[in-house]
Structure 1
C-alpha cells in the first residue's frame, strides 16, 4: 500500500510549507504546488506539464535522489530565466516514495 510523503516547498514569497504528497496518484511536483495553491493561479504549469514553459521551475535544496533530466527538460531549462545548477521542472518530477523529505524552492516568476 502506498503512503503519502512529506515534501517541503518554499513559495515565491519565501514561506516554507510542509505538505503531504500522495504516491498513488501519478502526480508531479507542479500539480502538487497547484493543489496546495502555493503559487497564484495561472503562474505555474501554464503549459499543462509538457516541459514547454518553465513556469514550474524549482530549485532542489537537498540531496534527495531524483530521476535524470529528460532531453525536453534540459532543453527547456537551457532557455529559461533564473536557472541554477539545482534547477528542475516540477512537472517532470513525479511523486514517489523516493521523494520522501524532498525540499524545493519555487523559482521566481519569469
Structure 2
C-alpha cells in the first residue's frame, strides 16, 4: 500500500503542478488543495452543498460514483462538464494516484 499519491493540478498555461497527498489520513482532494494554498473556498466545509470546490477531472484511472447530493449540486452549475466533480467528495486513496484536475471558476 502506498503512503502517498500524486495529484496533478492543471494550470491555464498547460503546466501541471504535482501535489503529494497522504493516503492514511482520510483527506479529501479539497483538503489537499487548500493545504497547498489553492483558492478553494469550500464554504460548506465538505458537505457537498455549496459547489465552491468544483473541479474538472481531466485524467483519472478510476473515480468513485457520485452521490446523489454531489450530482444534484453539479447539475445546478452553469459551467459544469461531464468530468465535473466536487473535490470535497473525492477521498484520497490509491485509485486516485495520478489524477489530473483543473480547478473550475465559480462563475
In structure 2, stretches of 5+ residues that fail to align are: none
Kindly tell me the number of residue pairs found equivalent between the two proteins: 107
Aligned CA-pair RMSD: 1.8
Higher strand share: 2
Structure 1 stretches of 4+ moved >2 Å:
10-16
In the other structure, the counterpart of 1:21 is 21
Q: Note the C-alpha offset of 1:9.
A: 1.1
1:103 to 83, 100, 105: 100
TM-score (norm. length: structure 2): 0.90
In the other structure, the counterpart of 1:75 is 72
Alignment partners' CA distance in 2, 1:48 and 1:12: 26
Structure-2 change in CA distance of 1:29 and 1:13 (3 Å): farther
